[in-house]
Structure 1
Amino acid sequence: MAARKRTQAAATGGYVVRASISGTRDGKDWPKPGERIDLPEVEASDYLAAGFIEKAVTDTTPKAPSTDADEGGASE
């Protein structure tokens, strides 16, 4: 049986670490709880199920368009 190889080509998503994870991943320490990490969906599914990570919430609030007054600062 061939071993499943992790590739960077797999889709990634933003996640937030919920619990302290010991050891390293790809030679780097795991982020601390509250910090973000990008993981392939296949790998993330196991950590999601175990409660170690959660999907990161992205801000979808539209930004107000800038005006000339916002860019120029105070005029004298």
Structure 2
Amino acid sequence: SGVGYTEKDWGSSFPSAWIWGQTNQWMNATSASLFFSFASVPWYFGLELPGFLIVFEYNHQFYRFNTYLLSIIHDFS
């Protein structure tokens, strides 16, 4: 078990759809944290692209996964 935080909003100053969450409370882990964000990112000519950013830190080592570094999520179900 642990403590986390997540948020969702459909506001006009944000992308049309987005969600993010973060936590740094893990059972039996002294140095770990996770941040994630998924969104419909506004693009040119009114198009929107699915985008994401995930950062995982474990024992002071950072692992980054995101759309602009061409990371791919094959299945998120």
TM-score normalised by the shorter chain: which range applies?
under 0.3
Higher RCO structure, 1 or 2 (CA under 8 Å, sep 6+) = 1
Q: Which TM-score applies when normalising by structure 1?
A: 0.18
Q: Which TM-score applies when normalising by structure 2?
A: 0.18
